[in-house]
């Protein structure tokens, strides 16, 4: 669970921004989205294998070249 302490004379918007960032770091929102609907084990396994395949392809392709203003 994400918990923050509000500092003295801290604006609500700033505290709320820190709370949202801590929620994102701890993975609460992604966990909530994952548990929103029931997913059959076969579907979960299929998604996992697809993502592994994508990661492997990405690893084989290597890093993309970055372009600077100086190189153009």
For the residues 45-66, what does the mean pLDDT come to? 92
pLDDT at 52 over 90: yes
What is this structure's pTM? 0.51
72: confidence class by pLDDT, cuts 50, 70, 90? low
Quick one: pLDDT at residue 71?
Answer: 64
Distance, CA of 35 to CA of 28 (rounded, Å):
11
pLDDT at 1: 75
Block residue for tokens 């100086």: 70
Given this model, what pLDDT does residue 54 score? 96
Task: Dig out the tokens for 61 from the structure.
Answer: 């392709």
| pLDDT value of residue 43 | 95
- The residue whose two tokens read 């203003």 is 69
| Rounded Cα gap, residues 47 and 30, in angstroms | 15
């Amino acid at each position: 669970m994400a918990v923050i302490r509000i500092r003295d004379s801290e604006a609500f918007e700033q505290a709320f921004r820190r709370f949202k960032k801590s929620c994102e770091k701890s993975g609460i929102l992604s966990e909530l989205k994952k548990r929103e609907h029931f997913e059959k084990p076969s579907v979960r396994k299929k998604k996992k294998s697809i993502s592994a395949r994508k990661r492997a392809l990405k690893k084989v392709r290597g890093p993309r070249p970055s372009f600077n203003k100086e190189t153009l």
